[in-house]
Structure 1
């Protein structure tokens, strides 16, 4: 399965290297599945997911002979495990999360020792950056033995932890707050999320810096425009692209979604919004395109969504495009007119918004979490209340107002070019780390 945080980290490493830094990217748990060239090529995967799980379940595997341990870490087995893996459910990993946060005292201490032994064969780092706060259990020993600063990215941990059942939820939050004291700096993707995590983990304000996420603009180009039919004729707006695309492109206006095809990202709410728009019929011939990651664990939910659309008489106006490559994703986004991913779990940023804006597609998002902050920072969209009727009204209003649409389209794309590129993100991270 694709992982948004992996995309962000991979792009950041590439940009930091272009800025002249020596950066080592070390994958944990499973080999990364990316839509761009991996910056971790040739680096072993540590804390192999199979060993981590088995060590949690049995003392035998914590003491397993090296040949068995190495076999379970083989790239082939890890790739097979990654291919069969469904979405991780917080309810299933409470004890494992606690053990990982205990670090050198946890059931996976052997994995930490192996990681450290390998890192000591590499050039001594000035800083180690953890990709998310669930890895802060590694910080204490890494800092002590490598003699470096520890930087931790904050990337959506709260929703995952809050979905754990009690008492694991409270235990993990408490241990996470304790272990975060071992870190020197935290980097949040938005002020909303930085403030949220600082409050919940009792982090000193001066230890939390905000660096907006950024994307590579390669492939987006300038090949988009707006139809010139007058609004008074009832025609809505639709982008035109000149790409030969594997994704079908319509002349009709297209509402788009590109994120994990799951309830957490609000796909069910967007489908209700689309059904409401079709009922209102103020925007004739409106279509819906759904793209993004869809693994085995998501397929039953997608089947329910399709059944609901069929019962509403709307399925023929909807297309599903799962697991696209990066090039296909860009073409998919350029085929849209307006974009929405109405996630309601507390999104800390929403990289998909920046990707849509880069493609010249305005966004309509619920008044929730980081969305108002990102929309305000870009000027590329509309914020509405978090229900199908309000979202439908906002989408409809935008599609029927050509001047407003064009202003938001242009402002959003300009903001991405100026403030939300991977180069800007790398510069922000560099400045934050240099300030330690």
Structure 2
């Protein structure tokens, strides 16, 4: 079976869970013998460590999509102009500013993409379909990395005569931040476009139930498959760190709660028993996060804590493992419920416990693994209280980490994800082909 995985790039400026997830899936599925290739969209994908031989060309280049949204002229430019606008060098520069797009324009582009062939990026859809239609590229199934690509589903199904499936993970967090009327328009279009998709995979029970409700899906059309990690290289540190150390591994932005963690850190430093506690931060940030990040740094400087806080620039796999092995505990205090929490899986694989807010996937994840503690969301004082026992009793922290690591090794290896995804894809393709042969038609709903 040939699988086309369509994955938007984030510019590789920050820890992008979707990019890392898709990269791990493609690598592991190919290692298991599946014929799968990744098709990057918007911006190049480099930090996901995908072999160039298993990647297609980039489609819907970020500069092209932006200009086609702004001007009718660029919706009709010849291919040589589009090719120049899709140059890696130009896209890298664009990627550093990608997060700074105005909310209104972002809403406009989201609605346009969800409109599919009637949106302003129709030229890009035709180019993608043309490439996927080539005999050596034609897939048996197309997988969309997220529901925001749902505008592509109907034209892909119709022109390729192949089923389209979709992974869902944290799209609500993006759509709900759009200004009105774009937020309502986007949710209405998403519910409509979801009918063009043959099956959905959610990364957690929590998010599967949430998207079933928001997309008005039949429960039979959405399956929960936990995305595991590639366990090779993830090992606990031989010894605990010489001083108690809290870690943050994610995009350094307001939504991820770095300011909440900074406030909790200030509170912890007031306890004389924790006068040496350190905070290490990794995961990068976008251009839109710079004002927020400056504010957090200024707040820490007001308490004379700059010397106890370290920002780690790189976040490739090797650096992430070294970073995690230097920690006593990890905390990413998400302000809103999230679907996945890849950083928790990575931390537990290194035997590092996690302290996370009591919402979204975390109750589910920490119940499965036993590798952490929950606290009241958006409450720095409660977060500090949850962190304190683990910082004061490193043996307790390592015991929680061991429990979590045992659960990760048993349940969250990427091989299990590959097995479940392979079965899911086979079922979808079989059902699609049976419907076609028996006259069931090409419509999902």
Say whether residues 1:310 and 2:324 are aligned partners. no
Q: How does 1:375-394 map to 2 (within 5 A)?
A: 375-386=366-377, 387-394=379-386
* 1:320 match: 311
Instruction: Kindly report the root-mean-square deviation, in angstroms, between the aligned alpha carbons of the 2 structures.
Output: 1.8
Q: Deviations over 1:349-381 (max 9, x none)?
A: 110111111111100111111111111111100
8 A Cα contact 1:152 1:185, kept in partner: yes
- Contact 1:356 1:363 survives alignment (8 Å): yes
1:363 matched to 2:377: no
Which deviates more, 76-85 or 22-31? 76-85
Deviates more, 1:336-345 or 1:314-323: 314-323
Q: Which moved more, 1:203-212 or 1:88-97?
A: 88-97
Question: Which TM-score applies when normalising by structure 2?
Answer: 0.89
Once residues 288 and 30 of structure 2 are traced to their aligned partners in structure 1, the CA distance between those partners, rounded to angstroms, is 36
Post-superposition shift, 1:252? 0.4
After TM superposition, the structure 1 = structure 2 runs for residues 15-414 of structure 1, keeping only pairs within 5 Å, are 15-38=28-51, 43-86=56-99, 90-121=103-134, 122-221=136-235, 223-226=236-239, 238-239=240-241, 251-386=242-377, 387-401=379-393, 404-414=396-406
Helix, strand or coil at the partner of 1:26: strand
Give the structure 1 partner of residue 5 of structure 2: none
Distance 2:99 2:362 in 1: 27
Q: In structure 2, what is the Cα distance between the partners aligned to 1:274 and 1:368?
A: 21
Contact kept? 2:41, 2:60, Cα under 8 Å: yes
Unaligned runs of 5+ in 2: 1-12, 429-445
The whole-number CA distance in structure 1 between the counterparts of 2:190 and 2:381 is 39
- Answer yes or no: is the 8 Å Cα contact 1:99–1:108 preserved in 2: yes
C-alpha separation in 1, matches of 2:346 and 2:49: 15
Deviations 1:43-76 (A, max 9, x none): 2101111111111111111111332222222333
Helix, strand or coil at the partner of 2:418 = helix
Runs (4+) off by over 6 Å: none
CA distance in 2, matches of 1:284, 1:72: 53
Separation in 2, partners of 1:394, 1:163? 29
Counterpart contact for 1:177–1:202, Cα < 8 Å: yes
Distance in structure 1 (CA, Å) of the matches to 2:272 and 2:51: 45
**Aligned equivalents of 1:216 and 1:370: distance in 2?**
20
Q: SS of the counterpart of 1:307?
A: helix
**Deviations 1:21-58, CA, capped at 9 Å, x for gaps:** 10121001111131524466552101111111111111
Residues in 1 aligned to 2:190 and 2:226: alpha-carbon distance in whole angstroms? 24
Tell me the SS of whatever aligns to 1:86: helix
What is the count of residue pairs matched by the alignment?
A: 413
Scaled by the length of structure 1, the TM-score of the pair is 0.90
Which range is displaced more, 404-413 or 5-14?
Answer: 404-413
TM superposition shift of 1:403: 5.5
Residues 284 and 297 of structure 1: is their aligned pair in 2 closer, same or farther, counting only changes over 3 Å?
same
Confirm or deny: 8 A CA contact 1:283 1:400 kept in the other structure.
Answer: yes
Other structure's SS at 2:312 match: strand
Kept in 2, the 8 Å contact 1:36–1:326? The answer is no
Deviates more, 1:345-354 or 1:402-411: 402-411
Give the conservation status (yes or no) of the 8 Å contact 1:99–1:107: yes
**Which deviates further from its counterpart, 366-375 or 88-97?**
88-97
Q: For residue 12 of structure 1, what is the aligned residue in structure 2?
A: 25
- Greater shift after overlay, 26-35 or 181-190? 26-35
Q: CA deviation at 1:284?
A: 4.2
Q: CA shift at 1:292, angstroms?
A: 1.0
User: 1:152 & 1:84 partners in 2: Cα distance?
Assistant: 28
C-alpha spacing 1:195/1:288, structure 2 compared with 1 (3 Å): same
Please state how far the C-alpha of 1:126 moved relative to its aligned partner. Answer: 1.9
Shift of 1:88: 5.3
Task: Rate the CA distance shift 1:58–1:279 in 2: closer, same or farther, 3 A.
Answer: same
CA distance in structure 2 between the aligned counterparts of 1:286 and 1:430, rounded to whole angstroms: 45
Partners of 1:127 and 1:150 within 8 A in 2: yes
The alpha-carbon deviation at position 395 of structure 1 amounts to: 1.0
Comparing 100-109 with 128-137, greater Cα deviation is found at: 100-109
- TM-superposed CA distance for 1:205, in Å, is 0.6
